[in-house]
Amino acid sequence: MPLIQVKMIEEVFTPAQKKELITKLTDAVAEIKGEALRPNTVVLLEDVRSGSWGVGGRGLTTEDVRALAEKKTA
């Protein structure tokens, strides 16, 4: 049974985006290993408190991640 764990900084993804992420990750497993695994694929999304996620010695906040996402789409 595949288990996919995704950790993300809180309040970056909306509930609708989280639902989409679960669907697409499950779809990816089914596409790669076959439909028989779809009903047995578990996706666990875990929110990490803003500021409790560090990259390069610097704590990232929800606002930091939103700013990064805006730069990539702009």
Q: What is the pLDDT of residues 24-36, one digit of tens each?
A: 999 999 999 999 9
pLDDT at 74 (0 to 100):
59
What is the number of alpha carbons within 13 Å of residue 73 lying toward its C-beta?
6
Look at residue 73 and tell me whether its pLDDT is greater than 70. no
CB atoms < 10 A from the CB of 69, how many?
A: 11
pLDDT at 6 (0 to 100):
98
Q: Could you tell me the pLDDT band of residue 69, with boundaries at 50, 70 and 90?
A: confident
Domains of the chain, start order: 3-73 (3.30.429.10)
Mean pLDDT of the chain: 94
pLDDT at 35 (0 to 100):
97
Q: What angle do CA 39, 15, 49 make, to 5 degrees?
A: 105
pLDDT at 70 (0 to 100):
86
Are 67 and 16 in contact, with CB atoms under 8 Å apart?
no
